[in-house]
Structure formats: C-alpha cells, structure tokens
Chain A
C-alpha cells in the first residue's frame, strides 16, 4: 500500500485501524472500505442497523440577511421555501448546466443555511459559492468544525434514541434538529444515503471517538455493526441515489440524471437555469436508466452499453445487489430509446452480455 502521508484522515482513523477495517484512499481520504465484509454490512443495514463514519463529507455555512437569496442563486432546489429545521437534496450547477456537486441543504435559521457537500468537492464548492456571492451573506468553510456519523437501518432510531433526549419520532424525514447526543451538541438530521431509515448526525471532531463507541454500545442489542464505504455504495446504488463522479459530473445536467425534481425553474434566477430552460424546451439527448444483467456477469463503472449491437452509452455504476441477489447498474442511454424493459448489452471484458432496463429504485424499503 502506498504511503498515506498525503491522505486526509477523519477523527476515527486510529479507531478504524484498531477495529480491523480495511482502509482505502477515497478521493484523498484514508477511509474504511469495509469492516466485516461488504455483503454482511449491507445486510446489516437492511435488516438491523449500521454505523458509518462519513466525517470526510464537507460542510459549508451560509449566514446573513441575504443567505436565502445566495443559496437560491447557487442551488437548483427552492432553498427559500425550506422551513427552519427542514432539509432537501439539491445541486450546485455551472452556468452550462453541469454539476459542480450534489448537496444537502439545511435551513438552520431564517438567515442561516448549512450545506453538506461531497468530500472531494468541498474546496471547489466553497470557491464556487464564494465566487457567485453578490449578496449580503457570509460563506464559511466549516468542514474542520464537523465530523459526521450516519446511523442507518430499521433499528437506527432505537439505537440513537438511547443516547438523546430529543424525541426522534418527532423529526420527520428530511427534517433535522439541533440537540444533544450523549451530552454533547449534535445536529440530528433524519436523512441518509442507504435507502433505509436513519439519521446523520453532525458533531464536533473531538466528540466523535466517544460517540462512535457509545453508538456501537447502544446498538449492540439490535445487532449494530460498523460499516465502510463499500456497503454505503451498494446500498445507495440499490436505492438508485446518484454518486458524484459516476451518475453526475460537470458534463451532466439534472434533467439527464433523472433529477428534475430538485430543479425549481419557477423560483427565479439561479446558476445553470438558462441552460436548463433550453434543455427543457429541446429535450435531453441522454437519460439515466437502471438495468439488470440477465446472466451472472457483473457490469462495472465505465463499461460500454450497446443497443442491438450499436454503441449507445456507458455504465455509471454497476455492482452485485446483495438485497436482490441480481447484478444491477445505472447507465446513460439515448433519451429517444430509453424505456423500461429495453434489451441492452453491456460490454464485459469485450464480450457483449445481455441486460434489460428496469424501473428504479431497485430497492424500496417497506414503510
């Protein structure tokens, strides 16, 4: 393994190593890819509860009399319509309509927004927002002040509830509250990236090691396990949630990625709006689609996709689905040809292998 000197580390790095996690370089961060194994961790989140260190994620605070105007100008969703304590999924776009990043926007107060952004994009996002800031608002790069843990799975609430006086059942999905977990300040958000019920808590780096241990203790009776980014990826893929650098990047627009629901063209001016209006009028040329492999071969990111033998697109994410026991993936295809049940071929190691498009998400939890 290469020297880790240049990698960034979360406050839990030494704990991950001492607990036997396998570590990998994830976008410049030394992160656990797995603990007990991706399949085991995946099933644990679907059936019980898993604990993830996602402290590599970035945070940006935006405050000031025109905070809402700035956030609305740099993001696609209607930030000004968020209520205090509410969060939503959104996007930062370039003028040409491609993604700078996909983000979570939380409204902390009338004039205070809290953004959770992708680890590898955080400096870029911060520079992008600052450059666009012609409003009476302050933009703070607050990542160093936060660590983040994700508690995900059917027993996530029962686990976290043991450590907080906040009534978690009162926090609706995609809402959050500032309270205490195990006696220390925490932003408790009813959000997640697994397709399962769960919470993401934002805490001080200095409290993280203790909370990690206490959450593992609290969840023991429910079968909690520490989980790595490998399971996080298979879980989010089953839920058909986008991953930056795969389904979305600077060359892809939200309409192409099937994310029209986070674009509010009627909210007024925002970066990328002109391009999106034009694309809405002209129609998109490609669209993201889900597929299942017909045989046992596994599609992988970047593999070419054919329709009737003719190159038509590419796989953005491909993996075995531990829940469905099938091999699944997402791919871009010509918009005019996309439909559910379309036979396609994925070029697996130079062999065209049959697959068929299916509706997404691949997995939806029972409510």
Chain B
C-alpha cells in the first residue's frame, strides 16, 4: 500500500526523490480521511517551497487542508491534470495524482522523514 521508496510526513504527504528531483503527493490515508476531493490549489512553476511549510491546499466537500512540503526546493513541474480532475487524488494518490515536482535544495532533509514502515505504524497509532 505505502511504497517502500517513498518518504512520508506526519502531515500525510509523500515524496519520491530521484536524481535530485522530488515528486510530492498526499498519502492514501490522507485522501481517505478527506473524502471526495473537489479542488486542488498548487504553486506555480518556479515557486520556492520549504520543508514543513504549506505549498498549497487540497479541498474535499467538507473541508480545506494545507499540503505541507516534505522537502525544500524549487517547483519545476505542476500536475495540471488535477485542476480539471481533482477526484484523481481519491483514485491514485501514490501514482498519477502526484501534486508537484521540485528540484531539491537541501537533500539532507530527507532524513527527517518517515519510512513506509514508520508511516504505517504512525497512522495505525493515530487511529
């Protein structure tokens, strides 16, 4: 369920780092908790994001939630498909429905994040 090669935050984001580029999304647990996602607000290409700071928001019918960046960096790509089809976040949060890609400016930050096993035990404990 939670890919081993991702790293996770306690705020329910994930990041996959490959060759200095981090692909960021929200976790399956997050989409389940949110329910039907109807709106996604993402930064523009070129924007700077900081680890632990809001990079945008995801809204369900019921509520709005901040998305906190798992890493610091510069946004190089935004998943525009989500603005027309935000429900993809409910269907494939670990795949097609990634949010943004960033060029990492502090790769060492990854060590602050949770492994898949740690994240799963964290959400298990949260319930």
| A319, B39: Cβ atoms closer than 8 Å | no
Of the listed stretches B57-65, B94-102, B104-112, name the one at the interface; the rest are far from the partner chain: B57-65
| A1, B57: Cβ atoms closer than 8 Å | no
Asked if B35 is at the interface of the complex by the 8 Å CB criterion, the answer is yes
Of all chain B residues, which has the CB nearest A320? B38
Min CB gap A178→B, angstroms: 36
| B38, A298: Cβ atoms closer than 8 Å | yes
| B39, A298: Cβ atoms closer than 8 Å | yes
CB-contacts of B41-58 with A (<8 A): 41, 57
| B83, A39: Cβ atoms closer than 8 Å | no
| A296, B61: Cβ atoms closer than 8 Å | no
In the complex, which residues of chain B have a beta carbon less than 8 angstroms from the beta carbon of A39? 36, 38, 61
| A1, B127: Cβ atoms closer than 8 Å | yes
CB-contacts of B18-43 with A (<8 A): 35-36, 38-39, 41
| B64, A300: Cβ atoms closer than 8 Å | yes
Chain B contact residue count (CB 8 A cutoff) = 15
| A33, B39: Cβ atoms closer than 8 Å | no
| A38, B35: Cβ atoms closer than 8 Å | yes
Q: Which of B36, B59, B64 has the most CB of A within 10 A?
A: B36
| Distance in angstroms between the alpha carbons of A296 and B41 in the assembled complex | 10
Which one of A1, A33, A40, A298 lies within 8 Å of B64 (CB-CB)?
A: A298
Asked if A349 is at the interface of the complex by the 8 Å CB criterion, the answer is yes
| Distance in angstroms between the alpha carbons of A296 and B83 in the assembled complex | 9
Of all chain A residues, which has the CB nearest B90? A37
In the complex, which residues of chain B have a beta carbon less than 8 angstroms from the beta carbon of A38? 35-36, 60-62
| Distance in angstroms between the alpha carbons of A93 and B62 in the assembled complex | 30
| Distance in angstroms between the alpha carbons of A320 and B60 in the assembled complex | 9
Which one of B62, B64, B83, B127 lies within 8 Å of A230 (CB-CB)?
A: B62
Q: Mark A7-42, 1 if CB is under 8 A from B, else 0.
A: 000000000000000100000000001100111100
Main SS of chain A's interface residues? mixed
| Distance in angstroms between the alpha carbons of A319 and B35 in the assembled complex | 14
In the complex, which residues of chain A have a beta carbon less than 8 angstroms from the beta carbon of B83? 296
| B61, A349: Cβ atoms closer than 8 Å | no
Interface size class on chain A is 10 to 19
| Distance in angstroms between the alpha carbons of A252 and B59 in the assembled complex | 29
In the complex, which residues of chain A have a beta carbon less than 8 angstroms from the beta carbon of B36? 37-40
Of all chain B residues, which has the CB nearest A296? B39
| Distance in angstroms between the alpha carbons of A63 and B36 in the assembled complex | 46
Min CB gap A79→B, angstroms: 36
| B35, A37: Cβ atoms closer than 8 Å | yes
Min CB gap A50→B, angstroms: 15
Which one of A1, A22, A297, A319 lies within 8 Å of B61 (CB-CB)?
A: A319
In the complex, which residues of chain A have a beta carbon less than 8 angstroms from the beta carbon of B57? 349
In the complex, which residues of chain B have a beta carbon less than 8 angstroms from the beta carbon of A300? 63-64
Asked if A234 is at the interface of the complex by the 8 Å CB criterion, the answer is yes
Q: Mark B58-102, 1 if CB is under 8 A from A, else 0.
A: 011111100000000000000000010000000000000000000
| A230, B39: Cβ atoms closer than 8 Å | no
| A298, B35: Cβ atoms closer than 8 Å | no
Min CB gap B15→A, angstroms: 23
In the complex, which residues of chain A have a beta carbon less than 8 angstroms from the beta carbon of B64? 298, 300, 349
| Distance in angstroms between the alpha carbons of A1 and B123 in the assembled complex | 11
Min CB gap B32→A, angstroms: 9
Min CB gap A23→B, angstroms: 12
Which one of B59, B126, B127 lies within 8 Å of A298 (CB-CB)?
A: B59
In the complex, which residues of chain A have a beta carbon less than 8 angstroms from the beta carbon of B41? 297, 349
In the complex, which residues of chain B have a beta carbon less than 8 angstroms from the beta carbon of A343? none
| Distance in angstroms between the alpha carbons of A300 and B62 in the assembled complex | 9
Min CB gap A173→B, angstroms: 28
The list of the 4 closest CB pairs from A to B, nearest first, reads: A38-B61, A39-B36, A320-B38, A37-B36
- Other than the given A39-B38, A319-B62, A349-B57, 12 more pairs (CB < 8 A) read A34-B35, A38-B60, A38-B61, A39-B61, A230-B62, A296-B39, A297-B39, A298-B59, A320-B61, A322-B61, A349-B41, A349-B64
20 sample A-B contacts, Cβ–Cβ < 8 Å, listed by A number? A1-B126, A1-B127, A22-B35, A38-B62, A39-B61, A230-B35, A230-B61, A230-B62, A234-B61, A296-B83, A297-B41, A298-B59, A298-B64, A300-B64, A319-B61, A319-B62, A320-B38, A320-B61, A349-B41, A349-B64
Chain A residues near B (Cβ < 8 Å): 1, 22, 33-34, 37-40, 230, 234, 296-298, 300, 319-320, 322, 349
